[in-house]
């Protein structure tokens, strides 16, 4: 009995508390549906080969597989070469000519200083139209409103150990969000509470006559209230899950809630590495910020800083990781212990009492050192040097299906979750001025820049432009990237205070909260 309880809790922990995996919906589109004439237009991008999604193809198939940048940058072959130059590290932004990004969004990026062969960050900015899901016969379901929904979408994907996972998530994640919203088109536009069950039609799969079932007992007479907001959050969470769930039965039994589509693509096309994902969805007056990884988002509103995400690292998720290791010790093999110690224990310290903490503790206590405690701790290091199984420094994201402990066959994927934390900001509750912005950045920005410094840059740059100048947000994104990159000096990149600048890939979106002008 205890074993079954432990197994059930382990499933819950490893999947971030989400329900078991579900099959992918059969009518996931092959491309983002185009909005109707009344819907806002997506940004213009250069011609792309079929199936390329939101990526800009290079000249050859080999180049496409190794290096690509967002199409909205509209980079020429020469621009692609400059964007891939680790020595010059030129900042890239969309050109001033042509159609701007939705909401006059600003964007800037720069490649790393040699940390990896190419820029492993990817970015996506889309306007997506959602039609209600069709019935089994192919006819649209009856709708009281007869119209779909349009949502705005921004995504930053910080790749590691290769760019394949980031490129795939950038190309497909918004389509999974679109697919998950199909069932909600009419529900979200109806002010009444959401229905408990979606209707089924006699004669269609899934329909059954339940009239003979006993009615609810008194203890079940009350029904939980579910808000429209929570439905959108659930749709985004499911999109991440479907982008990322492990598809094979064997692996999903061991660790549910992983990357389904990436697992399939990995088996067929060898998707490289993994990625952190930071996504923003604007729908019906609210901004939904979903984060899985160590990228971050903040709102700067009238000088006030409002955090819209938090980092998921071995330190911030230590207790979740330790609990999984405690419940399923086979995942640790004979190499790791779920306990944490201030430092690595030496054999000569056997029998002594040393500080430790386990999955239930936020403080520290003393325990007698035993032979098993000589194993390497599951969570080690601190700050940017914190690692899971001495290997990876983030605990949520997509991909990483092939990641194993160095010189070992132990997989690390069971400890990594693809589920995001979603925070919501209601734009209708505040009258925003042109200087109120949402800043998204990969960890290349936040490693060397804090929230207050970002807010100061927002004030300094935007005050130098007219409020109605749409280029001000691109200028702000460029200033944030330049400020984190620094300038080349003494064989490195340094900030004005002589500290080291960021040698990582840096990508930044600046989204003005004035938006399209109406939040209704």
pLDDT along the chain (520 residues), means of 10: 49 44 41 39 37 40 61 92 94 87 95 92 95 62 67 96 90 94 92 81 49 52 83 96 56 41 54 90 96 96 95 95 96 95 93 96 96 95 92 92 88 93 96 95 96 97 93 96 93 91 96 67
Cβ neighbours, 10 Å, residue 303:
11
The tokens for 4 are 């079954």
Q: Three-state SS for 127?
A: strand
Please tell me the predicted confidence (pLDDT) of residue 29.
39
Please tell me the predicted confidence (pLDDT) of residue 14.
44
Handedness of CA 479, 481, 485, 487 (dihedral sign): negative
Please tell me the predicted confidence (pLDDT) of residue 290.
98
- Which residues make Cβ contacts (< 8 Å) with residue 481, sequence separation at least 6? 91, 108, 109, 110, 445, 506, 507, 508
CA distance linking residue 258 with residue 247, whole number of Å: 8
Minimal CA–CA distance to 274: which of 378, 415, 409?
415
The tokens for 128 are 């997506």
Cβ neighbours, 10 Å, residue 197:
5
Residue recorded with tokens 């997509």: 398
CA distance linking residue 265 with residue 268, whole number of Å: 5
Our measurement of the distance from residue 218's CA atom to the centroid of its chain's CA atoms, rounded to an integer in Å, reads 42
Contact indicator for 509, 154 with CB cutoff of 8 Å: yes
Alpha helices in 110-184 (DSSP H): 164-181
For 369-436, strand residue ranges (E) read 376-377, 379-380, 387-388, 398-399, 421-426
Give this prediction's pTM.
0.80
Burial class from Cβ neighbours inside 10 Å (0-12, 13-18, 19+) for residue 372 reads exposed
Element (H, E) at 291: strand 286-292
Phi-psi region of 491 (alpha: psi -120 to 50; beta: other; left: phi over 0): left
Q: Three-state SS for 337?
A: strand
Cβ neighbours, 10 Å, residue 409:
7
- Which residues make Cβ contacts (< 8 Å) with residue 496, sequence separation at least 6? 486
For 372-470, strand residue ranges (E) read 376-377, 379-380, 387-388, 398-399, 421-426, 437-441
Contact indicator for 147, 190 with CB cutoff of 8 Å: no
Minimal CA–CA distance to 489: which of 120, 91, 83, 89?
89
The tokens for 84 are 């891939």
CA distance linking residue 367 with residue 289, whole number of Å: 42
Please tell me the predicted confidence (pLDDT) of residue 259.
55
Largest CA-CA distance found in the chain, in angstroms, rounded:
80
Name the CA radius of gyration of the chain, rounded. Answer: 24
- Which residues make Cβ contacts (< 8 Å) with residue 494, sequence separation at least 6? 486, 487, 488, 500, 501
Contact indicator for 475, 106 with CB cutoff of 8 Å: yes
CA distance linking residue 119 with residue 66, whole number of Å: 10
């Amino acid at each position: 009995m205890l074993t079954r309880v432990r197994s059930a809790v382990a499933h819950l922990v490893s999947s971030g508390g989400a329900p078991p995996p579900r099959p992918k919906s059969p009518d996931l589109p092959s491309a983002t549906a185009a909005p109707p004439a009344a819907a806002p237009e997506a940004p213009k991008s250069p011609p792309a080969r079929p199936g390329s999604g939101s990526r800009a193809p290079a000249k050859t198939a080999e180049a496409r597989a190794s290096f690509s940048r967002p199409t909205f940058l509209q980079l020429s072959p020469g621009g692609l070469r400059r964007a891939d130059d680790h020595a010059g590290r030129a900042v890239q932004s969309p050109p001033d000519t042509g159609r701007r990004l939705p909401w006059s969004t600003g964007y800037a990026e720069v490649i790393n200083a040699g940390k990896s062969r190419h820029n492993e960050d990817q970015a996506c900015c889309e306007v997506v139209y959602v039609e209600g899901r069709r019935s089994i016969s192919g006819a649209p379901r009856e709708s009281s409103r007869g119209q779909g929904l349009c949502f705005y979408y921004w995504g930053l994907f910080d790749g590691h150990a290769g760019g394949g996972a980031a490129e795939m998530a950038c190309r497909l994640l918004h389509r999974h969000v679109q697919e998950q919203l199909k069932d909600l088109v009419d529900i979200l536009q109806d002010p009444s509470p959401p229905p408990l069950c979606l209707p089924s039609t006699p004669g269609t799969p899934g329909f059954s006559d339940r009239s003979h079932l006993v009615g609810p007992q008194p203890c079940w007479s009350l029904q939980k209230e579910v808000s429209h907001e929570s439905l959108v959050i659930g749709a985004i969470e499911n999109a991440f899950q479907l982008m990322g769930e492990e598809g094979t039965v064997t692996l999903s039994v061991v660790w549910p809630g992983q990357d389904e589509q990436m697992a399939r693509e990995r088996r067929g096309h060898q998707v490289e590495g993994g990625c952190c994902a930071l996504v923003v969805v604007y729908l019906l007056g609210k901004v939904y910020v979903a984060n899985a990884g160590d990228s971050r988002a903040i709102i700067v509103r009238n000088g006030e800083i409002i955090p819209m995400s938090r980092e998921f690292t071995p330190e911030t998720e230590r207790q979740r990781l330790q609990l999984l290791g405690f419940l399923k010790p086979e995942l640790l093999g004979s190499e790791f212990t779920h306990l944490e110690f201030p430092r690595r224990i030496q054999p000569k310290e056997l029998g002594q009492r040393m500080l430790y903490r386990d999955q239930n503790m936020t403080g520290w206590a003393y325990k007698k050192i035993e032979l098993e405690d000589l194993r390497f701790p599951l969570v080690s290091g601190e700050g940017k040097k914190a690692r899971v199984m001495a290997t990876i420094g983030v605990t949520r994201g997509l991909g990483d299906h092939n990641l194993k402990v160095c010189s070992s066959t132990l997989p690390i994927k069971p400890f990594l979750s693809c589920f995001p934390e979603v925070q919501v900001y209601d734009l209708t509750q505040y009258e925003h001025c042109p200087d109120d912005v949402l800043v998204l950045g990969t960890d290349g920005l936040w490693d060397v820049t804090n929230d207050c410094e970002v807010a100061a840059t927002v004030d300094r740059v935007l005050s130098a432009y007219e409020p109605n100048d749409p280029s001000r947000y691109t200028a702000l994104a460029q200033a944030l990237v330049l400020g984190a990159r620094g300038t080349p000096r003494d064989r490195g990149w340094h900030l004005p205070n002589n500290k080291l600048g960021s040698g990582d890939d840096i990508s930044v979106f600046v989204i003005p909260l004035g938006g399209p002008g109406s939040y209704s």
